[in-house]
Amino acid sequence: MEPAEQGLRDHLKSVVLAGLARQDENREQALKEYLAVMVPDMDIAMSTRLAAMVPTVLPELYEKWVAMFTDRLFETVPVDQITHLCDGSADNDATIGLVFLMFMESERMEKQIDTDLRAYGREHTGDPDMGNVVADYLRSRLAEMKNDKE
């Protein structure tokens, strides 16, 4: 990979991860509230444990998903257009965030998110259904982020 392409990939990654970090500042409390509404019969200890562990895994998953996003962008968009998009302007950074969200809403990524979160739930809780709860929560957070961009 050429240094110029790596620089563009790094810029895309930093813009997307910064947007996700802003959305997730109070993730643990928001997830507890979400679980209380969506799964009211869930044991309090389980919801607390699940909420506490989500912040440790999502950055790793975000990194994976952002890498998939940048790979797909370079497969489908000419490099000169990506270069223009990565000029550091607020408008183009907002566009990068919106394009990432559109990518995350694709059928391919819906399946990938489900697969990744189910695996996470199984690995960390022994219960794949907890991965589904986290997936639903993540979708709601992505929808909030998209609404903020529109």
Query: pLDDT tens digits for 49-87?
Result: 767 666 565 778 889 999 999 999 999 999 999 999 999
CA dihedral for 88, 90, 95, 100, sign (positive or negative):
positive
Using an 8 Å Cβ cutoff, are 21 and 47 in contact? no
Quote the pLDDT of residue 150.
58
**pLDDT tens digits for range 29-58:** 767 776 677 667 777 777 777 676 665 657
pTM of the model: 0.72
The residue type found at 91 is: D
Question: Which long-range contacts (C-beta less than 8 Å, at least 24 apart) are formed by 20-23?
Answer: 20/62, 20/145, 23/141, 23/144, 23/145, 23/148
Of the candidates 120, 111, 142, 132, the one whose C-alpha atom is nearest the C-alpha of residue 53 is 120
User: Which residues are CB-contacts of 69 (< 8 A; sequence separation ≥ 6)?
Assistant: 12, 16, 100, 103, 104
Give the start-to-end residue ranges of the domains of the chain. 3-149
Hunting for tokens 């961009």 — which residue is that?
Answer: 149
Contacts 24+ apart (CB under 8 A), 122-129: 124/53, 124/57, 125/46, 125/49, 125/50
